[in-house]
Structure formats: C-alpha cells, structure tokens
Amino acid sequence: MTNLHCKSISVIGVYLLRVITNRKYGPPEVLKLEEWEIPIPKDDQIRVRIIKTAVNSGDWRLRKPDPKIVRLFFGIFKPRSVILGISFSGIVDQVGKNVSSYQVGDRVLGSPGMKLGTYAEYICVSEKAIITKLPEKMSFAEGACISFGGLTALDFIKRCQIKTNDSIVVYGASSSVGTATIQLAKHFGAHVTAVCSKGNFDLVKSIGANEAYDYEFFLSQTNPKQYDVVFECVGKTEIESNLAFLKKGGNLVLVGATFRQMWDALWISIFKRIKIHVGPIKETIENLNFLITLANLGKYKVVIDRSYALDAMVEAHRYVEAGHKKGNVVIDVTQE
Ligand SMILES: NC(=O)c1ccc[n+]([C@@H]2O[C@H](COP(=O)([O-])OP(=O)(O)OC[C@H]3O[C@@H](n4cnc5c(N)ncnc54)[C@H](OP(=O)(O)O)[C@@H]3O)[C@@H](O)[C@H]2O)c1
C-alpha cells in the first residue's frame, strides 16, 4: 500500500496509524498516543484518512465519566470504546467491494455515531453511516465540526416545531449547540434572544441573534418576558428557573439534562401545560444534509474557537472540559 501519511512501519512491515486511546476512565492525562495497525475496511465500509476531528463536550464526559452512570453504558470498570471521537472529515483512501456511493479520493465528513473512534488517523465506517461528501466550499475543519452541535440543535428545533415569529431564548448561546441553535432558529423565522457572557455578545449577534443578555442579568429579572421556546443548551440551570421564561403551552428544551432532570421533566410536563424535550438526539443523514445545504447557501456558519494537534489531545480536553469554548474545537489529525 502506498500511503505518504502513514507515520511509521512496524518491524514486521505493517503500516501503523496514530490513535489517541483512553484505556481507563479519569482526567485528561489518561489519553495516550499509541500506534496501531491500519484497519482494513469490510465489504460495506469505506476507510477514511481523517484530516480533522473535534473535541466535543460529550467526549470529556465519556472520558471521566460524568455522570458516573455513563459506566453502565460504556463499560463498568473501563471504557469499552478505547478510542473516543464522534465527528470527522477526511479523504476516502480505500473502499470495500460492495460500496457504491463513494470512491477513493472522495472528501467526506460525518459521524460514526456511538461506535466513536475518530481520534485516529484512519477510520473504517459503513457507507450507510451518518456520512456525506464534503462540499467544495467547506473546509475540513468546518466539516469535522458541523455535526455535533448542528445535529443536536436541529433535532430539538424540529421537536419544538419552531415557526415564523416564534420567540426563542437560547441559554448558553456561545456553546457548540447554542451557536447552531441561534442560526437554525433564525432560519425558521424565529426572533432569537441569546444569553451568554458579555464577551460573546458580538459573536452571537454576528450569527443572527436579535439581542443578547448576560447570564446574571437574565436570571435576576423579577418580571421576565416569556418566550415560545426556552432552549437551555448547557445544562447549567434548574428546570424551575426556566419555567418563569416560558409561555403557557411553550416548549422547554434541556439539551444537557441530567437523569434526575429527565425524570422531573416527565412530571412537570404532565402537570403544567408545557412540552419539555430531553434525552439523546437522533443523528440522521437527512439532518446532516440539511445543515450542509444551509452552509452551502451561506446561511449556516460553523463557529470554530481554536485547533490543537492530535498529540496535544490532553490540552484540548482540558480546554473543552473547562466549559468556555466558543462553538467548536478542532483537532488536526493528518495533512490535507
Ligand atoms: N441531548 C443530546 O443528545 C446532546 C447532544 C450533544 C450535546 N449535549 C449536551 O449539551 C451540552 C452543551 O454541549 P456543547 O458542546 O454545546 O457545550 P460547550 O460548547 O462545551 O459549552 C461551552 C459554553 O458553555 C457556556 N457556559 C459555561 N458556563 C455557563 C453557565 N454557567 N451558564 C451559561 N453558559 C455557560 C460557555 O459560555 P461562557 O464562556 O460565556 O461562560 C461556553 O460558550 C452539554 O451538556 C452536552 O453534554 C447533549
């Protein structure tokens, strides 16, 4: 196999790829750089040389884990998925014999879903996974970041059935999910109020927010305006404090709801006339293509905060876990 991007060849002549592993739960330092054999795609899979991946808030939660109940689903004593990472962009470098939609050289982006594994120079994914071709105008960095916040925001926005002239308040508006929510809500014709730190007012207004308030002011109002949709992106408030901002019959979205909040949400939505949306989102190829179409039309911008090299993954995790990234954080994996 000819591949200029393989970092090294083992003593038995097998090409190796660099991966970042998390063989145990814990702080960012559990992440280690290792060299593995390059995977061979199955008949229905493509192999992608990853150019960029992203560190998302979900990644550090799985690494830690936070909440602890994550262990029930990802491994009681140690993580079952040794390589984290849920979004990528890259170039197809090998295809299985039954693959019909992609060929070697295609530029692609997408998500392996909960199989994870994008903290690596190569990944094999089914051609039926949540992947699609990277548009000409989109950079690999944008391609790697479009799915996490974008698919989350779009799924919840659809559940709320946001329509023209609805009012929505986006709490935690500078987050990955928040920056996506602002733009999608605007696209569907809503009036958007962003709540974030003062330092992020320019950012949220530049992507379409009609007005911006800082957290302290917003939460301290005694007689607040009420909205059709309250979209809490960052899991930093109690359910009850959101209800004061919601019209009767309105929609409350708790993107980062804890299990306790999910349980409470069930009862509150029954006894008060509101709809509360919680729980994991469904990633769909239709939604990914929708986001890409909007981006191609210049109506959706992937907000990127900063980039790290693959071998600086520990620092990248520290930064994202600190909880103040603006939009998305990119990891440079291999050269374009
Ligand atoms: N339900 C699902 O399927 C699903 C899918 C994806 C993500 N999520 C969850 O969604 C949440 C958001 O993810 P994300 O990646 O978008 O988050 P993120 O980008 O990591 O969030 C960072 C942002 O949070 C803001 N923030 C920090 N402390 C805050 C506070 N006390 N009040 C308000 N905002 C604050 C920061 O703004 P400042 O720097 O201005 O403070 C920063 O812009 C996470 O809890 C994640 O687990 C759920």
Tokens 């909960």 — which residue?
114
Distance from Cα 45 to the centre of ligand 1, integer Å: 33
Q: For residues 308 and 332, is the Cβ–Cβ distance under 8 A?
A: yes
| 123 lies in the same domain as 153 | no
Q: Is residue 297 part of a domain?
A: no
Would residue 126 count as lying in a domain? yes
- Atom of ligand 1 at shortest distance to CA of 197? 40
CA of 268 to the centre of ligand 1 (A): 23
Beta-sheet strands, E only, within 240-281: 246-254, 275-277
| CB under 8 A, 24+ apart: contacts of 28-34 | 28/60, 28/63, 28/313, 28/314, 28/315, 28/317, 28/318, 28/321, 29/314, 30/63, 31/63, 31/84, 31/119, 31/313, 31/314, 31/317, 33/310, 33/311, 33/313
The verdict on 239 and 309 lying in the same domain is no
Say yes or no: 221 and 246 in one domain.
yes
> Residue 10: what pLDDT?
56
Whether 28 is in a domain gets the answer: yes
For residue 290, being part of any structural domain is answered with no
- Spans of the chain, pLDDT less than 70: 1-14
Same domain, 17 and 100: yes
**Quick check: CB of 167 below 6 Å from ligand 1?**
no
Closest Cα to atom 45, ligand 1: which residue? 256
What is the span of the domain harbouring residue 44?
8-134+303-332
Q: 280: cis peptide before it, omega within 30°? A: no
| Residue 54 in contact with ligand 1 by CB distance below 6 A | no
Do 208 and 246 reside in the same domain of the chain? yes
Least Cα distance to 176 among 131, 233, 221 occurs for 233
Asked whether the beta carbons of 48 and 122 are under 8 A apart, the reply is: yes
Q: Does the Cβ of 150 fall within 6 Å of ligand 1?
A: no
Residue 5, pLDDT score: 39
Verify that 117 and 153 share a domain, yes or no.
no
The number of domains in the chain is: 2
Examine residue 241 and state whether it is found in any structural domain, yes or no: yes
Q: How distant, in Å, are the alpha carbons of 4, 65, 92, 257 from that of 194? A: 46, 30, 39, 19
Pair 218, 249 in one domain: yes
CB-count exposure of residue 199 (10 Å: 0-12, 13-18, 19+): exposed
**Distance from the alpha carbon of residue 236 to the mean position of ligand 1, in angstroms:** 8
CATH number at residue 230: 3.40.50.720
Is residue 49 within 6 Å of ligand 1 at its C-beta? no
Q: Decide: 176 in ligand 1 pocket, CB within 6 A.
A: yes
- Choice from 179, 216, 234 to test ligand 1 binding pocket (greatest atom count within 8 A of CB): 234
- Do 76 and 25 lie in a common domain? yes
Residue 293 domain-assigned (yes or no): no
295 in a domain, yes or no?
A: no
CA distance 325 to 202: 15
Q: Which helix (H) or strand (E) holds 293?
A: helix 285-296
285 domain residue, yes or no: no
**Tokens 């390059």 sit on residue:** 38
- For ligand 1, pick from 148, 175, 281 the residue to mutate: most ligand atoms within 8 Å of CB: 175
Tell whether 320 and 261 lie within a shared domain. no
Same-domain pairing of 161 and 265: yes
The domain that holds 17 is classified in CATH as 3.90.180.10
Give the burial string for 232-251 (b: 16+ CB within 10 Å, else e).
Answer: bbbeebebeebbebbbeebb
Residue 220, phi then psi, degrees to nearest 5: -90, 0
Residue 32 CB coordination number (10 Å): 13
Tens-place pLDDT, residues 68-89: 999 999 999 999 999 999 999 9
- The residue whose CA is least distant from atom 15 of ligand 1 is 57
User: Does one domain contain both 157 and 181?
Assistant: yes
Residue 196 sits in the same domain as residue 236: yes
